Structure 1
Amino acid sequence: MITADRMAAVDENAEALGVPRKQLMESSGNAVAREVRDVASPGARVVVVAGRGNNGGDAFVAARFLDDYDVSVLLLGRAETIGTDIARENWDALQQAEYDATEVTDSRALDLPDCDVVVDAMLGTGVTGALREPEATAAETINESDATIVAVDVPSGVNADTGEAKGTAVDADRVITFHDTKPGFDDLDSDVTVANIGIPDAAERFVGPGDLRGVRGEVGGRVFVIGGGPFTGAPALAAQSALRAGADLSFVAAPDAVAGEIQGYAEDLIVQPYEGDRLTPEQVDGLVETAEGYDDTVVLGPGLGNADETIEAAKSFLESFTGRAVVDADALPAIPDLDTDATLVCTPNRKELAKMGGPDADDLSEATDGIESLAADLGHVVLTKGATDVVSDGERTRVVRTGNTGMKVGGTGDVLAGIVAGLFGTVDAFDAACAGSYVNGRAGDLLYDEHGEGLLASDLLDTVPAAIRGEFDG
């Protein structure tokens, strides 16, 4: 089962893997034609009512596979307003081959002839809400027909995720949907067929550019980095990368002994010092109050050090905190056996993963079952860093293949933690971890030709925005 948003992401990922959407449309249209052939014999009268998006494009393709039928295509609107290149190309193909394909520019003039089958290809799974004109009138006309109604992907007017319709919707006898069924289909009074259209499993297993759909152009709110003490560069990198990922403000809470040094890395950071030279339990109440009061996404761990009282403080913070947090590096020992209401993304490297009770594997992509099991036991999202990253929430597990050997340099994990935090304010923990890992690796890939093995973690800051925008994704 797959939601509409996830389906759109998988489509984009498939294209990035070399399976173009035009090819998927050809397969989808063929599947629609098979469904028509299943309900009507050759020679039957078939009318396609098509919208101006890719849903209509699927039906334009279907018409070419139904030469044994009496087929006519009615396009709702003007051809020049067809929304995608591939749908327009398939409309043009119908025109060039002299199929019976006409524009309906006024829904009041929609004349649905007597027919055996009506194909509803007006709107796809990505469209929600009440039908507008001309689709609303067209849906009423279709429903009044005595023909068998075949809906492409989802009956127009029905929310594919919920099965609900706000107002008029097509009452389909049959639905031909693609790749996987949709959550709302259990409530449909229709026969549903799922067609395999050639989307590779890798489009779901591997994180790709489609997974950035929900984070592009979004602002992630405030990020609050609790780090520093023995080390100062790590919290500065995390805080700066959060800004590059879309956070509008980035704060660092650090011991006053090093606060000035951290501030010196970048004037964009807001450093809030507390007394001492490391994090201790005495600071926890004030830090929780600040993070909770401003609904901050917290990054806990960069540069904290591994003193026993610091680990105790990290655990105490997480036990009291109820918001969103990325737990990295020195704070990870606090995670096993932790009792918290916070929503966490844990970002261990391979060695840290093993210490947390996860698998000890050189190739993380071969240890996905063990990582998923650990995430389920912990009840948190685990983003494990390696040559390939693995992300799991205990039920879903994804592999991230961006990145390069130049990113073995210290600090890239701190950049990753900040990116995930910057995205965490706009999407859920699992999606933030997947997108953040992909962006971090992609930012490094954009620099590898120039820097090679001389890449620095601070270099990534300049390419994080471009990686999120996907400007350089083929």
Structure 2
Amino acid sequence: MRTAYNVETVRAAERELMARLPEGALMQRAAAGLAAACADLLGRVYGRRVVLLVGSGDNGGDALYAGARLARRGAGVAAVLLAPERAHPAGLAALRRAGGRAVGVEGAERLIEQADLLLDGIVGIGGKGGLRPDAARLAEAAERSRAAVVAVDLPSGVDADTGEVRGAAVRADLTVTLGTHKPGLLIDPAREYAGSVRLVDIGLSLPPQAELEALQHADVRRLLPVPGGESDKYRRGVVGIAAGSARYPGAAVLAVYGALRGGAGAVRYVGPAADAVIARFPETLVSDRGPKHAGRVQAWVVGPGAGDDASAVGEVLASEVPVLVDADGLRLADRDAVRARTAPTLMTPHAGEAAALLGVPREEVEGARLASARELAGRYGATVLLKGSTTLVADAGGGAVRVNPTGTAWLATAGSGDVLSGLAGSLLASGLSALDAGSVGAYLHGLAGRFAADGAPVGAHDVAEAVPAAWRDVTDA
């Protein structure tokens, strides 16, 4: 499992380690990792032109020491000092001893234009808000240049803890993060600025409770339900789907499709799209008597394509089994009814739906995804899966938020969320917690999207069809 820690935790771990090491040793470790990453990116170091963008903190010191190492290998290294009087003195001296030079911001854009590699050491993990004007001009010049841009720890101008970008920021091709991932490297919009991310171990001792977790194949494999010799369709779990309407019958079909691929032993469908569902999936158990009379289920999915039918939502929320609420169900669900539930509830909004539930503009949710997911989970006392370019799963009780590492932009297609709802609901019915069902469902859904698209447009039904391939890829790894 990949983990990310907030700035306060990282700072504490750094202080604890520095107290046990000779002075400057930790910065040298960081510089060695940075220089190695830059050398790998350059391929050949000798004769290459490297420009360091250096701020006043330890981040700038890391860049200066890394630049000194590259200079000793024959690179032509120039450091652009944004605050010369506050540049790291020992790092600057090391660079000069190695043959590098230091310049001010005047004329720096010309150097950036000619560089093969730019090392961003402007602002460290404690930076808040966008870059100041001089730094912003350098960031703009870096984006225009042909040089590879490497960020020290994280791109300058992004928020390490939240992933927010509140102004000008550096766009990196590679971020070399030191000691641990920071949440902003895994969450949009900051993730888009980080490029590829390379973790350098500098020996930090970190607590078991992380700020953010990203499941990997091995984690998902451990969580997937596997039938045993004694299993039958009921022991494997039955998921109920209350979805669809005369206007949106396809939503019901796609939710059922996702559920059939999600590991539950049987799927019950309730709603006005029964004819469409049974025609496509004759194995579905169909009822026309409403959720209360549909028969026993271990979990419900309610809301996809439901239109304005609030009765089914109310009946499902009144049940004593885990419930996944999506799409129209989010709009129709009474918050007090959700908070009063004793069984787990998993809500799966996209940014627009989350914004409506929180009473804020959509842009606010998209710009502060981590805070929005946590706020929504707290308000409703539910687990929240916030869909989007970065899918997050937050528990009402706090703890680490899960960030989904799989997916493709081609998943932004009609009906894709309905497939995810059915898939995650099926995992709920098989016995997974709301946090695990949401996380595993998003992981498989994203992986299936990649397999189905393979670089080309894809439909939601293609994604559902590819779930077994994603499941096998996880279990065979």
| Number of the residue aligned with 1:240 | 257
Distance 2:276 2:358 in 1: 35
* C-alpha spacing 1:207/1:366, structure 2 compared with 1 (3 Å): farther
Q: SS of the counterpart of 1:427? A: coil
Matched with 2:299 is 297
CA-CA distance at 1:198 after TM superposition = 9.0
- Code of the aligned partner of 2:355: A
- 2:171 counterpart residue number: none
The amino acid of 1:216's aligned partner reads: L
Q: Report if the CA contact (8 A) 1:240-1:269 is conserved.
A: no
Query: 1:79 maps to which residue?
Result: none
Q: CA deviation at 1:384?
A: 1.0
1:342 shift after superposition: 3.4
The answer to whether 1:269 aligns with 2:277 is no
How far apart, CA to CA, are the structure 1 residues paired with 2:329 and 2:207? 40
Letter in 2 for 1:261: A
- Measure the CA separation in 2 of the matches of 1:472 and 1:213: 5
- Runs of 4+ in structure 1 deviating by more than 6 angstroms, as ranges, are 197-203
Q: Tell whether the 8 Å contact from 2:302 to 2:313 is kept in structure 1 after alignment.
A: no
* Alpha-carbon distance in structure 2 between the residues aligned to 1:340 and 1:199: 33
Please, what TM-score do these two structures have when normalized by structure 1?
Answer: 0.51
Structure 1 position 196, deviation (Å): 4.8
CA distance in 2, matches of 1:422, 1:365: 31
Match in the other structure for 2:244: 228
Question: Is the 1:381–1:393 Cα contact (8 Å) retained in structure 2?
Answer: yes
Q: What is the Cα deviation at residue 335 of structure 1?
A: 4.2
CA distance in 1, matches of 2:385, 2:286: 27
Match runs of 1:281-296 below 5 Å: 283=290, 287-290=291-294, 294-296=296-298
Residue 345 of structure 1 deviates from its aligned partner by 0.5
Pair 1:438-2:443 in alignment: yes
| 1:384 and 2:375 aligned | no
Q: Shift of the alpha carbon at 1:414?
A: 0.6
- Asked if structure 2 preserves the Cα contact closer than 8 Å seen for 1:215 and 1:426, the reply is no
Deviation at 1:362, TM superposition (A): 6.8
Partner-residue secondary structure (3-state), 1:470: helix
SS in 1 for 2:280: coil
Distance across 2 between alignment mates of 1:328 and 1:384: 11
Amino acid at match of 1:374: L
For 2:258, what is the secondary structure of its paired residue?
helix
Structure 2: how far apart are the matches of 1:224 and 1:458? 20
In structure 1, runs of 5+ residues without a counterpart are 1-9, 18-33, 35-178, 180-194, 275-282
Aligned to 2:335: 336
Q: Which amino acid aligns with 2:298?
A: D
In the alignment, residue 447 of structure 1 is paired with which amino acid? A
- Which runs of structure 2 are paired with 1:83-94 in the superposition (5 Å)? none
Match of 2:325 in 1: 327
Against the structure 1 CA distance between its residues 400 and 358, is the aligned structure 2 distance closer, same or farther, given a 3 Å change threshold?
farther
Displacement of 1:392:
0.4
1:51-75 Cα offsets, whole Å, 9 max, x none, are: xxxxxxxxxxxxxxxxxxxxxxxxx
**Paired letter, 2:243:** G
Q: Structure 1 residues 449 and 319 mapped into 2: Cα distance closer, same or farther (>3 Å)?
A: closer
- Residue aligned with 2:385, SS: strand
Q: What residue number does 1:133 align with?
A: none
The 5-angstrom pairing of residues 84-163 of structure 1 reads none
Tell me what 2:352 maps to.
Answer: 351
Residue pair 2:255, 2:423 contacting (<8 A) in 1 also? yes
| One-letter amino acid of the counterpart of residue 227, structure 1 | A
Paired AA for residue 213 in structure 1: R
Matched, 1:207 2:209: no
Unaligned runs of at least 5 residues, structure 2: 5-19, 21-179, 181-202, 228-235
The answer to whether the 8 A contact 1:403-1:444 is kept is yes
Deviation at 1:210, TM superposition (A): 3.4
One of 267, 278, 295 as aligned partner of 1:250: 267
1:459 aligns with 2:476: no
Hey, what does 2:422 align to over in structure 1?
418
Give me the identity figure in percent: 29
Alpha-carbon spacing, 1:199–1:400, altered in 2? closer, same or farther (3 Å): farther
User: For 2:315 and 2:452, how far apart are their aligned partners in 1?
Assistant: 37
Q: CA deviation at 1:431?
A: 0.8
The one-letter code matched in structure 1 to 2:472 is R
CA distance in 2, matches of 1:263, 1:345: 26
1:403 Cα deviation from its structure 2 partner: 1.4
Q: Which residue of 2 aligns with 1:160?
A: none
* Distance of 1:273 and 1:463 partners within structure 2: 30
SS in 1 for 2:335: coil
